[in-house]
Structure 1
Amino acid sequence: MTLTLESAVTLLNQHHMLREVISGEVWTTDSAKLPQRSFTNISYDTREVTPDTLLFCKGRFSPKYLESTNNLGLSCYVAQEDFSQYTSATGIIVKNATQAMSLLSAAYFDFPQEQLTVIGITGTKGKTTTAYFTQAILNAHSHGKTALLSSVDNCLDGVHYAESDLTTPESMDLFRMMHQAVANGMRYLVMEVSSQAYKVDRVYGLHFDIGAFLNISPDHISSIEHPTFEDYLYCKRQIIANSSRMVIGADSQHFSLLKDDAANDGIPVSTFALRSSNADRQAADVVAISSEDIRPAFDLVANGESVGTFTLSIEGDFNEANAAAAVAIVRSIGVPIEESSLQAMEKIRISGRMERFISNDGTIAYVDYAHNYASIKALVDFVYQRYGQHHPRITLVTGSAGNKAIDRREGIVKAAQDRIARFIFTTEDTDTETNEEICAQLMSYVTNPSVEAGVILDRTSAIEEAYRDAQAHSDRLNILLITGKGEERWIKEMNHHVPFEGDNNIVARMFKEESK
């Protein structure tokens, strides 16, 4: 993998991205006037610099970092301003450094997207589950030739999964992983696409063979994410113009706007939906038909014809909707809808997502990543649908992320307070905002005098207290909802990762100890 100074400048000029190249006394936009130079490494980390590295100075980059690269032999950097006073390296000055990084990373890694069928999935909730379902179906169809990039795990060989750091990786990391997937013989790539991926240009220049827009509701609204819901929705809508075909949830808010976007760009659209009967199954191209009775089975209908009855390992009607989305996606690619391939999604389990535990005394716990109004409401709705006839006593153990998505806090409380017995607010991830402040704000939104609410900052203690309280109310069916962290083995405290047992491990340990 190599990239030359000449080819980099030529590509940037083609995309009207280049301002000028500064090499000593020479300022130019003409690649022919530049020295011959090849790059066998690209990076956005000054600690990784070698003489053959092309360094990207993006985001909140401090030019003082360049001083340390002089001894490392840095020959060239990409930035939005001239840093000649800090380094003698050649500067490729561009209009937008993050966009330039995406374009040049794709070139450095030999445009791996052109050798894959790339599927991008966005939406407020359901991205991860839909991505896993889609990968499972395509893996079955392609005999293990489908890669996955998700907020939980990345899989680059169709078999092995490694924990991921971001919902959508930085562009350089994204194209590196795509290149590895191609090297591993992958034919398909299924990936989640966050609103931030478009906000900060992580997928700039990337075109999807299929884009999926599942749903939309307010989230990620804060001073460091999206200032308004309109901005959040606008960023997510960018997937439409950057896809060859779209799959859109027929019941999504602002559905008509999404279809207008697609029509304006000439993008064909398929739809999916969840329905409770056959009566309105024609309302979308692919429909999951759920019975009002206690699940698990549901029917899938495509173009008015049944494709089979399925039972998921992940509970919740919202996951049946995700299954319908996955089927609509693979249909849009042109993959035959065969029940044998579709059955692969029945086996999918995602640690920390609707993960159910039952203790020896009958207490039921669900561990899930629910973290906003829409996902908490869907979770509580599910509990009442599944267990409502038993009049369960529900305890919600939850927190909220610090320094971002401030609107989530009121939404979490609003979604649950009139239908549960107790809140236990606890620690979640934060940068500089304290968990005491976050939990106090959560408490301030509790207005129902009938619901018990309190704060236990230590997350392990909070979960253990929820179970002790359940045992003290053994005259009723107790359901514990533990949300926000799932299987994650760390908590971000004051911008540092602190080891953590994991919500699912804590529940498994408690219930096992209790059953001895």
Structure 2
Amino acid sequence: MTLTLASAASLLSQHNLLREVVHGDVWQLDASGIDGADTPFEKLSYDTREIAPGTLLVCKGRFKPEFLDGTAEKGLAAYVAETDLSERTDRPGLIVNDARKALSLLAAEFYDHPERELTLVGITGTKGKTTTAYFTQAILNAYSGGRCALFSSVDNCLDGHAYAESDLTTPESFDALRMMREAVDNGMTYLVMEVSSQAYKVQRVYGFTFDVGAFLNITPDHISPIEHPTLEDYLYCKRQLIANCRKLVLGSGCKHINLLREDAAAHNVPVSEFSVFDNLEDHYDPEHLEDLPATCAWAVDCTHRAYHMRVDGVDLGEYTLDLDGDFNYRNALAAVAIAHAAGVPVDSEAMHAMEHTKVPGRMMQYYDEGANTVVIVDYAHNYDSVVKLLDYVDVRYGEENPGITLVTGSAGNKALDRREGIVQAAQDRIMRFVFTAEDTDTEPYEDICRDMANCITNDRVKSSTIIDRTKAIESAVEKARSDADRLDVVLIIGKGHERWIKDLNKHVPYEGDDCVVERLLR
């Protein structure tokens, strides 16, 4: 579908976003009478560095008027902005109330609405989004013959099998729709995507309707001056997924669940809830399993290495995952429930595809039996996820009374509550902290590490700071391996398999936590 100045003005007007069209001294409500108003744009962009002949530029975010200088010579055809920029360019301007919403609508039109050709699955929650997304994609891929795309905080996949590292949990709307078009052209029929709170905060998914939405859980996170000022705002943004989906899969243990149910009822969205029990006998009489929730799972035995699952009242039997951790069985049950809501029959063999699915950067375990050392690389990055990781270590290795070292940093310039949260979650359960670089915009790594060290209140736990992340991992692993008389567990969290560290708002190449460990243990 072609996008022109006239059709763009009409579209934005239909959605009550257009204030006026400006061209020189002429202000009007549509593009009539403007030369070239019916000429198709050759390109849509939100980056002045990418302007080519025939470009419609959307000026969003922290756009400075001087960015328009010289763009006419590069081929700027028109612009979209929240203020009149005619002092900087003689090109027509579409003045709107919200440039981010406008970008999403215009991108959908420019790429001929690829979102309408896909079964869209959106997954939100404080933790578990990525793993659940990978599990869901595995099931849908198995069911559809490899026709499921993926947008995640780790990787994007547009052809069902090739993965490329992503920059954002949820892509900018323009990038999402561009990739959706590529996925459709590649023959994809499903798309599973993580939907962050920021995606709704800054309108990255404006205009999207998810065929299946999943709300896994909610705990405090992303609270900072540049993210969400309060937990209420964080939850409110996440709740928007419910208003924008056709079916909802909901974690029954979710905080504020009554509010989420009310959201669903207000928007006439049918809800399927799922529950996971560590010990079934503590909740239900084994002789009356007919009283169980329709969708639930429970540990088979005390080792928690397998879980029994049932979905929509149908018994699916035991599931065993290659990805360790009790919390991942909750993610697995969510994935099965999501896939069923997306149309996969509960008795389909495809439901077992996730059993052998691994997620980059999640629960990657390495063993050095000669040195009696276990190293785990994981993306845990807040209080709750660190608690879950340490719970796993306690269940698997607690009887051996291991010495535990936690290599961690925290995000700079945002999510300030994570720093104290990580320390509080770990300080009474580990032997040593090694604070190091993670990701930051402008805040110095040293300041972040000092903040975390100052949160320690247990004088029995040791701590050190090694800013160079590679050297921090090397030091922690080498120290653990030097003590073969006891089991040592080194937990390296926050970066997973990412091949960069964000410094001064730029991605700086980095070997990767997993690669550092593999090299050391080789």
Q: Please state which band the TM-score falls in when normalised by the shorter chain.
A: over 0.9
The residue type paired with residue 406 of structure 1 is L
Q: Give the superposition deviation at 1:201.
A: 0.5
Deviations 1:11-34 (A, max 9, x none): 111101100001233211134444
**Which one of the candidate residues 305, 316, 322 is aligned to 1:313?**
322
Give, in whole Å, the separation in 2 of the partners of 1:352 and 1:50: 38
Cross-structure match for 2:14:
14
Q: Give the superposition deviation at 1:50.
A: 2.4
Give, in whole Å, the separation in 2 of the partners of 1:134 and 1:456: 38
3-state SS of paired residue (1:75): strand
**Which one of the candidate residues 414, 418, 433 is aligned to 1:423?**
433
CA contact (8 A) 1:122 1:194 kept: yes
The residue type paired with residue 62 of structure 1 is K
Cross-structure match for 1:285:
294
Q: Give the superposition deviation at 1:5.
A: 1.3
Taking a change above 3 Å as real, the CA distance of residues 71 and 211 of structure 1, as seen in their structure-2 partners, is: same
CA contact (8 A) 1:223 1:404 kept: yes
**Are positions 1:346 and 2:348 aligned together?**
no
**Which one of the candidate residues 402, 408, 411 is aligned to 1:401?**
411
**Are positions 1:412 and 2:422 aligned together?**
yes
- RMSD of equivalent CA atoms: 1.4
The residue type paired with residue 148 of structure 2 is T
After the TM superposition, which residues 269-284 of structure 1 pair with which residues of structure 2 at under 5 Å, given as runs? 269-279=271-281, 280=283, 284=293
Give, in whole Å, the separation in 2 of the partners of 1:499 and 1:47: 23
Give, in whole Å, the separation in 1 of the partners of 2:54 and 2:75: 8
Give, in whole Å, the separation in 1 of the partners of 2:167 and 2:89: 32
Give ranges in structure 1 of 5+ residues lacking alignment.
Answer: none
Cross-structure match for 2:202:
200
**Which one of the candidate residues 315, 318, 327 is aligned to 2:336?**
327
Identity %: 56
Give, in whole Å, the separation in 1 of the partners of 2:467 and 2:177: 40
Cross-structure match for 2:376:
366
**Are positions 1:357 and 2:359 aligned together?**
no
Cross-structure match for 1:213:
215
The residue type paired with residue 519 of structure 2 is R
Q: Give the superposition deviation at 1:277.
A: 3.7
Q: Give the superposition deviation at 1:493.
A: 2.0
After the TM superposition, which residues 152-171 of structure 1 pair with which residues of structure 2 at under 5 Å, given as runs? 152-171=154-173
Q: Give the superposition deviation at 1:290.
A: 1.3
Taking a change above 3 Å as real, the CA distance of residues 50 and 265 of structure 1, as seen in their structure-2 partners, is: same
3-state SS of paired residue (1:244): coil
Give, in whole Å, the separation in 2 of the partners of 1:417 and 1:453: 10
Q: Give the superposition deviation at 1:339.
A: 5.0
The residue type paired with residue 197 of structure 2 is S
TM-score normalised by structure 1 residue count: 0.97
Give, in whole Å, the separation in 1 of the partners of 2:129 and 2:393: 21
**Are positions 1:504 and 2:483 aligned together?**
no
Give, in whole Å, the separation in 2 of the partners of 1:283 and 1:251: 15
The residue type paired with residue 428 of structure 1 is E
3-state SS of paired residue (2:123): strand
**Are positions 1:48 and 2:50 aligned together?**
yes
Q: Give the superposition deviation at 1:292.
A: 4.8
After the TM superposition, which residues 134-149 of structure 1 pair with which residues of structure 2 at under 5 Å, given as runs? 134-149=136-151
3-state SS of paired residue (1:110): coil
Give, in whole Å, the separation in 1 of the partners of 2:294 and 2:331: 14
Give ranges in structure 2 of 5+ residues lacking alignment.
Answer: 285-290
Q: Give the superposition deviation at 1:283.
A: 5.8
Cross-structure match for 1:436:
446
Give, in whole Å, the separation in 2 of the partners of 1:180 and 1:318: 34
CA contact (8 A) 2:372 2:485 kept: no
3-state SS of paired residue (1:191): strand
Give, in whole Å, the separation in 1 of the partners of 2:26 and 2:114: 34
3-state SS of paired residue (2:74): coil
Cross-structure match for 1:255:
257
Cross-structure match for 2:41:
39
CA contact (8 A) 1:63 1:83 kept: yes
Q: Give the superposition deviation at 1:117.
A: 0.5
State how many pairs are aligned. Answer: 512
The residue type paired with residue 170 of structure 1 is E
The residue type paired with residue 30 of structure 1 is D
Give, in whole Å, the separation in 2 of the partners of 1:423 and 1:291: 35
